[in-house]
């Protein structure tokens, strides 16, 4: 494929979608048989993705019907702090960090 000169600047859009539980293989008529209760269906995820893109969001956090957005935000903050505080990856499941994570999760978020 040959490169061709551009007629001007090209606008590139990049989005990061962070999903909860999502069944990725769906057969018509069988969805209800195996879909986890908290999982979103693919069409719900697409609707959320389109809504976020239209709003200009870079990160599109897709809920999973099991926890609130606030809980998702706290979990994401804890996971990022695994790096900055040199904790083991996914420390919220590590026995040494179970109680500190639970306290962190219940703490009031500063305004």
Paired residues of 18 in beta bridges: 61
Q: Is 45 exposed, middle or buried (0-12, 13-18, 19+ CB in 10 A)?
A: buried
Residue predicted with more confidence, 72 or 23: 72
Mean pLDDT value of segment 88-103: 96
85 located within any domain: yes
Helices (H), the chain: 31-34, 42-54, 69-84, 98-106
Looking at the fold, whether 47 and 84 belong to one and the same domain comes out as no
Range(s) of the domain holding residue 93: 67-111
- Do 72 and 63 touch, CB atoms closer than 8 A? yes
pLDDT value for 29: 59
pLDDT surpasses 50 at 104: yes
pTM of this structure: 0.65
Cα separation of 99 and 88, whole Å?
Answer: 15
Looking at the fold, whether 50 and 86 belong to one and the same domain comes out as no
Looking at the fold, whether 43 and 84 belong to one and the same domain comes out as no
* DSSP code, position 69: H
pLDDT for 26-83, tens place per residue?
555 554 556 677 888 888 888 988 999 899 998 888 888 888 889 999 999 999 999 9
pLDDT value for 74: 94
Looking at the fold, whether 82 and 92 belong to one and the same domain comes out as yes
58 located within any domain: yes
pLDDT value for 65: 83
pLDDT value for 100: 97
């Amino acid at each position: 494929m040959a490169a061709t000169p551009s007629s001007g600047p090209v606008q590139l859009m990049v989005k990061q979608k962070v999903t909860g539980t999502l069944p990725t293989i769906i057969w018509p008529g069988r969805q209800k048989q195996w879909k986890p209760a908290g999982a979103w269906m693919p069409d719900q995820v697409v609707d959320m993705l389109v809504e976020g893109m239209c709003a200009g969001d870079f990160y599109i956090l897709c809920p999973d019907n099991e926890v609130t957005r606030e809980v998702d935000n706290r979990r994401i903050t804890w996971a990022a702090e695994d790096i900055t505080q040199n904790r083991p990856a996914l420390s919220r499941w590590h026995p040494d960090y179970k109680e500190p994570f639970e306290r962190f999760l219940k703490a009031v978020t500063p305004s």
